[in-house]
Amino acid sequence: MILKSQSMWFVMEAMMDTAKTWTRDKIDGNDTSMNIDPSKPLIVQVGDYGYEVQSCGGDGDIEGFVIQCKEEPVCKWEDMECIKL
């Protein structure tokens, strides 16, 4: 199976769709029905491991938005379950 690389537009749209469903209670962390707390670190999954985002910004050489992650993983997915490391 060949997976299509996603653009920044796709990622922003997904984040905005999620944000539209939040109320102040959800943003304050009182509602975890979506399993997302926007004040927590953003995690990027690479293979079976999750890494916290350290920084992000543009890169002129590739004309793309770059997300820089910390070197050490913070979690691992096993059988559809996320396990904190």
Sequence ranges of the domains in the chain: 40-85
The dihedral built from the CA positions of residue 22, 35, 9 and 42, taken in this order, carries a sign that is positive
Say if CB 52 and CB 29 are below 8 A apart.
no
- Whether residue 72 is predicted with pLDDT greater than 80 in this model: the reply is yes
- Could you report the per-residue pLDDT of 8-67, keeping only the tens digit for each? 899 899 888 877 776 665 566 555 556 777 778 999 999 999 999 999 998 888 888 899
Q: Name 57's bridge partners.
A: 66
Q: Please give the model's pTM, rounded to 2 decimal places.
A: 0.75
